[in-house]
Structure 1
């Protein structure tokens, strides 16, 4: 069984499949994530039946690949919570991205 699970995880990771609920029962789940549990004699669910939020096709805000791009756009420095801010642009994690050179 361990070899099966390890192989399943390896294959799932190669194809980018999330396998957390699938590992509980490697097969036999209905489309809602439920199955009949013979030991308990009742229907058993692994996944809550929650609708996914609608995906917006509009971008969440401006995206700057790096600080040079943000400076050219005239938005640097950016503070945490402002459009365009992201942690990758805030090297010292002080809440201010693309700070002026010192």
Structure 2
């Protein structure tokens, strides 16, 4: 049995990035990036300077094309119920997920 999420439901994706592994994330809406372990280097198409997230840190209101490098554990959240709100491409292994 499946149920439709409420309009205010939070959507979440978790993934682990190894050292040197690169992930491409595209988002048309504001999302929150959280580092739950390790550290993550983030490059954004909409922000002129890269930043690093360490375990326990998060950055809100991210959007556009994001390149994220490990090693670290990443959690991505958004609260808008759009089915194609963001797409995830794990470069190298070519794992793809769209939400």
TM bin, normalised by shorter chain, reads under 0.3
Structure with the greater alpha carbon radius of gyration: 1
Would you tell me which structure has more helix in proportion to its own residues? 1
- TM-score when scaled to structure 2? 0.21
Would you tell me which structure has more strand in proportion to its own residues? 2
- TM-score when scaled to structure 1? 0.21
Which of structures 1 and 2 has the larger relative contact order (alpha carbons within 8 angstroms, sep 6+)?
A: 2
